[in-house]
Structure 1
Amino acid sequence: MSLEPTTVRPDAIAEQLRASIIAQQDAPGSAVTESAVAVRFGVARPTARLAIERLVSEGILRREPHQAARVPVLGPDDIRDLFEARAIIESAAVAALRSVPVDARHSGDSAADDIAFHRALVAGQPNQRLTRMHDLLLGEIELCIGQVHAEQLLSATDVADQHQRILDAVIAGDAEGAARLAREHIELARDALLERTSRG
């Protein structure tokens, strides 16, 4: 017999767990077990298992064979590789935009807002393969953006200003400028994370 209401779905638990991980409430390296998730959210273990599996598939969690899932610890090489891939994809995406996507027009100052802004920029351009490539990296991107915000590695005001400059370049039809600004914006976040990592 299920211990949970039939309305509780694994996707809902996964989203709550994702938000907690992005906010650094579940620290990098910490284990995320089925039993702990079941107790934490008041659900049955099969529901907890499905929620964890979803986040593993998205890169928000990692799991080695016969071990509990863990929040990834991204080292310097991981960060460099991820942000280089991001810069390539996102600069190409903004260069291809012909107008500002609706979902990118109202950028707040939270990690969720930041993530939504970048997703909207990529999703708003016409090359769906580019969007799918970005989606493959999105879990790790979310982890990094979450850390930047949780530890205030960059000023929220500066981030918002950089977002607006990218949008202004898109509005002006300056594809080259938009691509350059997107790359610079991503590189600033990369450098902040690398500096934080070097401090241990």
Structure 2
Amino acid sequence: MPDAIFETLKARIIDQSEPPGSTLTESAVALRFGVARPTAKLALERLVADGLLRREAHRAARVPELGRADIVDLFATRRLIEATAIGSLASGGAIPADALAAHRDLLGIARTGGAFAAADATFHRALVAGSPSPRLARMHASLMGEIELCIGQVQAHHLLDVTDVAAQHQGILDAVTAGDPATAADLARAHIDAAGSALLAHYDSTH
């Protein structure tokens, strides 16, 4: 049951149904899902651990509000990790199965419409997890909550066209398959920069 609550709340946070700054209390979550407070607490603790919620001592958990400096720092760090990991992955020329599956999902969404944040996040997570460096994968995993928050904002505010996102993913996959580390890394950087620039432009226009 905590897993189901976690997944439901995670989806709501990413699609902005639980907007940045909103609070989630154990009692409210327990009431909403008809579970005991310890069960609600477990789900909230996992969301906090994943970076999708923040909690200070003696305060309710809150959906993070990322400022401009947060976005700049996150995307700069993400750029370094993902470009390095994807370049290393291209040295072997093999694409992780989870990344291929996520890309197929994204292509389907591009054709039919719908929410793409989960498929986008899974694609990036799988590529880095499949790289030869477990340390890069661990660093990336520690950022995934905030990365997913940003992807959710891109989706919610229609900052990028999912068709363009899918095309950029395809370019990265083609470079990895071709065993071209330099091109794969360059395309990963350009892809991340496009998302970061769109999100920063939106932030600047609304603050």
**Same fold? TM cut 0.5:** yes
Match of 2:200 in 1: 194
How far is the alpha carbon of 1:174 from its aligned partner? 1.0
Match for residue 95 of structure 2 among 92, 100, 104:
100
How far is the alpha carbon of 1:101 from its aligned partner? 1.4
Match for residue 40 of structure 1 among 18, 21, 32:
32
Whole-Å Cα distance in 2 between the matches of residues 190 and 86 of structure 1? Answer: 10
The answer as to 2:167 corresponding to 1:172 is: no
Whole-Å Cα distance in 2 between the matches of residues 79 and 92 of structure 1? Answer: 20
* Counterpart secondary structure, 1:92: helix
Match for residue 160 of structure 1 among 161, 166, 171:
166
How far is the alpha carbon of 1:182 from its aligned partner? 0.2
| 1:1-200 pair list within 5 angstroms | 8=1, 10-97=2-89, 98=92, 99-106=94-101, 107=103, 108=106, 109=109, 110-200=116-206
Whole-Å Cα distance in 1 between the matches of residues 125 and 132 of structure 2? Answer: 13
1:48-68 CA-to-partner distances (Å, cap 9, x unmatched) read 111111111111000122211
1:133-167 CA-to-partner distances (Å, cap 9, x unmatched) read 10110110111111111221100000000000001
Whole-Å Cα distance in 1 between the matches of residues 171 and 137 of structure 2? Answer: 22
User: 5+ residue gaps in structure 1?
Assistant: 1-7
Match of 2:113 in 1: none
How far is the alpha carbon of 1:26 from its aligned partner? 0.3
* Counterpart secondary structure, 1:168: helix
1:76-98 CA-to-partner distances (Å, cap 9, x unmatched) read 10001111110001001111112
Look up the equivalent residue of 1:170 and give its one-letter code: V
Whole-Å Cα distance in 1 between the matches of residues 161 and 133 of structure 2? Answer: 32
Task: Using the aligned pairs only, state the percent identity.
Answer: 61
The alignment covers a number of residue pairs equal to 192
Whole-Å Cα distance in 1 between the matches of residues 165 and 200 of structure 2? Answer: 17
Look up the equivalent residue of 1:169 and give its one-letter code: A
What TM-score, normalized by structure 2, do the two folds share? 0.90
- Structure that is richer in helix per residue: 2
How far is the alpha carbon of 1:11 from its aligned partner? 2.3
* Runs of at least 4 residues off by over 6 Å: none
Look up the equivalent residue of 1:52 and give its one-letter code: L
* Counterpart secondary structure, 2:132: coil
Look up the equivalent residue of 2:189 and give its one-letter code: R
How far is the alpha carbon of 1:36 from its aligned partner? 1.3
